[in-house]
Amino acid sequence: MDKKINISWDILVKKVRWGLTPEEESAFREWLAQDKSHEVYFERVRKVWDADEPTSSLKSNLSKVMTRFDAYVEKEKELRRRRIMRNVYRYAACLLVVLTVGGGMWFFSQNDESVKVEPKMAQEILPGGNRAIILLADGEKVDVEWLADSSRYKVDGVEVTTEEGKIRYMGKSNTKVEYNTIMIPRGGEYQVELSDGTKVWLNAETQLRIPTTFVGTERRVFLKGEAYFDVTKNDKQPFIVETDLGEVKVYGTQFNVKFYPEEREIKATLVEGNIGFRSEQVAELKIKPGYQLRLAEGAKKPEVKPVKIYNEIAWKNRMFCFESERLESIMVKLERWYNVDVVFEDPALKNFKFSGNLNRYDNIDKILHFFEEVFDVKFVVDGNTIKVMRK
């Protein structure tokens, strides 16, 4: 087996900025040729650097030596910006002297034409898409958005199919339990197939901690956020979804669990099959299909009621479905999916209620305009912030 070649960060930065000496170029070429992913990684770094964009979304999918490269690049770019700004200030000071001494007043008096200011292009707010970060057992992060454009990527028993937006765990024959965490950012979603064949759809701003293979008498995963589960039936090894407010236990069924810590409640909605819920305050409680269990933080007794399943799992079906839902709750969902911040200028507007179905992949302007037709509200988009105010 060939020895793994690591490369100095300085060489990568010099390659992007100035160029390399013959010896450095030779080392760079050797590193580049060793693994296709090295070429992909360097191309991403080069594009980010040339575009002068932040590197916060750039995560290494290579060896551990690369995991801190993002911060290094960011620091280098900041130093470059400071040098540029020092030169700008120096040249501006010189220009001011020239204008003042050499007839600068004539320049200002003769320039009667109004200054034309190019309108600033509004930042387009796009709907979410297939975005996920896999935190491997050894601490390495794999950002699937920055993987190669090839259809499949394999690492440590995990296969990522980027075209389909799926992460598949192939299972290992060893009995050692190792955990991965699938992290879905704002504006993201992804599908995961666990080692037992169970399929999971993950909504925006969600974390799912899972064993790479299921060992023992149960199949236990840990959830923060929202996920839809289609569990492979196994009577001898129940499937358990654990949250901070309790756990859902199943043997083979389809259901949705929503637990965002900031919302201080858990909702478990059963589509088919049967599930049980239990917590420190609640003995195991069975739920029938078409029903939803809702338990608020601090409550001793959950609420169980029939719901319209389609509305509860609309996000999985690429839709927003609201039924007499408060505008505040609706805007929280838009924040997560479109990766925006919403500010209510008048808190009373939060209580407006709305019913309707909207395409989750529509342009956000279309969705906001729809609300403006229904409510006595208007929306002002300022960068990545949406202000809600009265008309």
Give, in degrees to the nearest 5, the angle at Cα 192 between 189 and 198.
135
pLDDT reported for residue 74 = 54
Residues 92 and 144 in one domain: no
Helices (H) and strands (E) in the chain, counts: 8, 24
Would you say residue 324 lies in a domain? yes
What was the pLDDT predicted at 280?
85
Q: Do 194 and 324 belong together in one domain?
A: no
Instruction: Give the angle subtended at the CA of 341 by the CAs of 318 and 45, to the nearest 5°.
Output: 80
Q: Count the domains in the chain.
A: 3
Using the structure block, give the residue that is written with the tokens 């991965």.
180
CA 340 vs CA 29, 314, 358, 377: distances in Å: 41, 20, 18, 18
* 223 & 266 share domain: yes
pLDDT at 59 over 50: no
**d(Cα 73, Cα 146) in Å, to the nearest integer?**
16
Same domain, 167 and 281: yes
Take residue 196 and report the two structure tokens written for it: 């037992």
**In the 8-state DSSP scheme, what is residue 6?**
P
Q: What is the mean pLDDT of residues 95-109?
A: 38
CATH code where residue 209 lies = 2.60.120.1440
Q: What are the tens digits of pLDDT across the range 103-147?
A: 433 333 344 444 343 433 446 788 999 999 999 888 888 888 776
Q: Are residues 308 and 327 in the same domain?
A: no
- Kindly state whether residue 158 falls inside one of the protein's structural domains: yes
State which of 312, 329, 353 marks the end of a domain: 312
Whole domain around residue 57: which residue ranges? 1-111
State whether 181 and 218 are in the same domain: yes
Q: Is residue 123 part of a domain?
A: no
Q: Is the pLDDT of residue 15 over 90?
A: no
In a domain? residue 122: no
